[in-house]
Structure 1
Amino acid sequence: MELPREPQLLRKAILQKRNQTSLLDRNLAFSTIKFYLLDLPEFQNASSILGYYGKSSSGEFDTSSLLAEIISMKNKRLFLPRCDSEKIALDLYFIQNLTDDIEKGAYGIMEPKIRIEHRVPLTNIDLIFVPGSVFDRSGRRYGYGAGYYDSLLQKFQGIKIAFAFEFTVMDFPLAVHSKDVPVDIIITPSEIIRAIPS
C-alpha cells in the first residue's frame, strides 16, 4: 500500500493500522522489544529512566510490565511524566510504586500523582523512552500532535529510545521541523535501529 507523505495523513494512516493490531499481537511484539531493550548497553548503563504508560486503547504498547521491572532493579530509578495542559509541558516525578504513585490524568493516560517531594528536573534523567506514532530510520518521529515532548527533548542531552512496530518505521525521511529532535534508537520486534542523522 502506498502511504501518503503529508504528515497528518501519514500519521492517520499508520495509527489506523496500528489500532487494528490485536492486543495479543501487540503484547507479543512488546515482549520481544523488551527482550532487546534489557540487553541494550545504553539501557544497562542508565540509572535514571523516564518512562511512559502506554495507552492500550489507543494502540500503544502496554509498558506497565517494563515499568514494574525497572522499579525492581536495584541500580535504576523510574520517573514518569505528568502533562501540564496549561503550559503544554511535562513535569517529571519519581515513581516507587505503580499502584500508589499514579492516577488517571490528561488524555486518559496513567500519570504520576502530584507530590512535590517527588518532582525532579530533567537534568536528573539520563535515558528517555519516547512515545511516537511514526518514525524514519534516521530517528525522526511524529508524536500525536499535542507537542508535549518537543520542548523536553530539545533540552535533553541523554539517550532517547522509541518502541515501534516495523510498519510504523518509514524508509523515506519524515517531513519534520528543524527544531524537532530525533530519537537515538528505535526498537522493533525484528531489529534495533541506531539512528544515523541525515
Structure 2
Amino acid sequence: MGDERLKPEFFQQPTLELAQALIGKKIIKETDEGIASGWIVETEAYKGPEDRAAHSFGNRRTKRTEVMFGPPGYIYTYVMHTHCLVNIVSGELEKPEAVLIRAIEPVEGINLMYSRRGKDKKEVELSNGPGKLTKALGITNLDYGLPCYEPPLYIVEGFTPSQIESGPRIGIDNSGEAREYPWRFWLSGNRFVSRK
C-alpha cells in the first residue's frame, strides 16, 4: 500500500509532543472484513502518575493499566460505558502515560465504516469521537497490548498539519485541576474534530 510505518523510536517522544506529532498520521486496522483507515485529527495526552485524569494517576497499577508501565508504542484499549477507546502508550518505562486517539478523518474502507456504524450516519459522524472511531475501524479490546507499528493495528506516515490547536480535555470533570490542562490537540478547521 506504500504506507511507511512509523518506527518504534517515533513513540519515544515526551507525551505532550507525541500527542501533537500524531496529528496528521494515518491509523490503519486490518480485519477479516477488510482494511479501514483514517487521518488522526484529534488526540488527548494523559501524563500518568501526576495527572488526576489518567487511569494510572498515583502510579495505579492494575490489570487494565499494566501495558502503560511498559515501553511506548503499544496499544492501550479499554471499555468506557459501552465504547472501546484506543490509546498509544507513551512516556518512559515504568512511567505510565498515554495518548488517546479522539477523532479521525476516514480515508480507506468508508463503506466498511458505514456497515459498522450504521448506514444512516452522516459521514462526519462515522469517526468524530473516540468511541465512534474504534467502532468504525473495528478496534476492540483484543488489540490491547499490541505494538502500534505492526499489523493488524498500526500507524503510518501522513501529512504535515497546517495548524494544530489545543485546549482542555473532554469528559474528565471530576479530575480537579487536571480538568483545565490544555492537553487536547486537534487539526485546526477539520470537520471530524469531536468538539470545537
TM over 0.5, shorter chain: no
The TM-score with structure 1 as length reference comes to 0.25
Higher relative contact order (CA 8 A, sep 6+): 2
Structure in which a larger fraction of residues adopt helix: 1
